[in-house]
Chain A
Amino acid sequence: MSDADQTARFTALAHDVATPLRRYLVRRVSAAAVDDVVAEVLLVLWRRLADVPPDDPLPWTYAVARGCVANARRAEQRHLRLVDRLGRLERRPALLAPEGQSDADAEVHAALAGLREVDREVVTLWAWEGLAPREIATVTGLTPNAVSIRLHRAKKALARELGKNAPLGGQVPDEGRRPR
């Protein structure tokens, strides 16, 4: 691939993924960290352009972002530990609950916080990023089967926690439903 082709492909890729990537990050890191992590993820995409699936780059992009988010959280935790030497360390939540949220939204965020990290990631990738199980598998490194099991379990747990333990259907979103 010539330099011009690489430039054109990366620019097109950046346009494809930038907005959903930014939304993914707004949901998971502090506002102050979003810009840095967007840049980090796009840098990885640029350096590994040949590895990025051309037909559906978004799950692959989220997989890279997931690693960058974990790094950003660890850096933030290290910073907090340095600042708070008296041990009054508060772990930052893995998902960002917006300020001024309604009671109903607060209830949802509390329910999400009660899930294991992987289950929470699976269910939010389903609900917020609108991914299908096989795409969630690409992001998380789990098998599609494991994703389906975790998703079913997480949805049941959320429904129970939200106080409406009604039977759940088996519907999963397809790519056409991605909210991005």
Chain B
Amino acid sequence: MNDDELLARLRAADPAGETGSAHDTGLADSWVDDLAEAIMKTDVEHDVRDEEQQGRERGRGRAWAIGAAAAAVLAAGMAGIGLGRGGEPTPSVTKPAAVMTLALPGGNAAGMCMRFSVDGLRPMEVALSGTATAVADGSVMLDVDRWYKGGDGSTEVRLTTRDRSPSLEGGVAFEKGRRYLVTATGGQVTGCGFSAEWTPDLAAAYEQAFGG
């Protein structure tokens, strides 16, 4: 069997093999417009509310509201658009998202560093990739884009520290908009290079440790 024959077998068994045509219709454009609008509108509304209620947990409820709005849009907009062999879409509502809290190592923490290795990553209880959305005295909020391990359904993670400026061991300061790879065990973020700003090499190590 050559590549083309294998490709043909795989594509014939594609679960989404019959979904293409419906999305080429004008109705497909309509559901995308409605969903995009719902996401932008709901997110902005919650940003305004967040500013009015400083001190309350950011994000809690927002994902639920956006999920609910988006689910409603999709349920309405996708009516009549088949999911191929997957069946009809079932309207559903995203559950409110919790925020996982992890403690950063203190800036004065001293101790032996284990040499970085993929084997050293594997025992970590929590591993994630996320982008810093807010950096404040004593805490950082990460918007999680991937749970490698130990995710509890949270879409955001709060990293806390007693220090004014949250940072990782080695003086890696958090910066809003930057993406990080973080591991933790026992609720404590691990340093020593096991948590750091996202790089392709570190992401590949996480993938090797937790991905397969």
Spell out A's residues near B (CB within 8 Å): 7, 10-11, 14-15, 18-19, 22-24, 26-27, 30-36, 38-40, 42-44, 46-48, 50-51, 63-64, 66-67, 70-71, 74-75, 78, 95-101, 104-105, 108-109, 116-119, 123-124, 127-128, 140-143, 146, 155, 158-159, 162, 164-171, 173, 179-180
* Complex: A133 Cα to B9 Cα, angstroms: 20
B166 contacts chain A at the CB level, 8 A cutoff: no
Q: B207 and A118: CB pair below 8 A?
A: yes
Closest 8 CB pairs of A and B: A67-B146, A39-B70, A98-B85, A141-B203, A127-B10, A118-B212, A164-B1, A108-B13
Q: A42 and B207: CB pair below 8 A?
A: no
Main secondary structure of the interface of A (DSSP, over half): helix
Q: A71 and B10: CB pair below 8 A?
A: no
B129 contacts chain A at the CB level, 8 A cutoff: yes
- Among A15, A31, A109, point to the contact of B86 (Cβ < 8 A): A31
Complex interface: chain A residues within 8 A of B78 (CB): 35
Min CB distance, A166 to chain B, in Å? Answer: 5
B119 contacts chain A at the CB level, 8 A cutoff: no
Complex interface: chain B residues within 8 A of A104 (CB): 9, 12-13
* Complex: A26 Cα to B89 Cα, angstroms: 10
- Among B88, B90, B147, point to the contact of A71 (Cβ < 8 A): B147
Complex interface: chain A residues within 8 A of B16 (CB): 22-24, 26-27, 128
For A32, give the chain B residue with the smallest CB separation.
B90
For B70, give the chain A residue with the smallest CB separation.
A39
B131 contacts chain A at the CB level, 8 A cutoff: yes
Binary interface profile of B, 124-158, with partner A (CB < 8 Å = 1, else 0)?
A: 00000101010000000001111110010101000
B92 contacts chain A at the CB level, 8 A cutoff: yes
- Among B129, B143, B177, point to the contact of A50 (Cβ < 8 A): B177
Min CB distance, A27 to chain B, in Å? Answer: 5
Within 8 A of A (CB), among B162-212: 177, 179, 200, 203-204, 206-207, 211-212
* 7 further A-B pairs in the complex, CB-CB below 8 A; given A32-B89, A35-B92, A141-B200: A23-B19, A26-B16, A35-B74, A43-B66, A75-B153, A98-B86, A166-B5
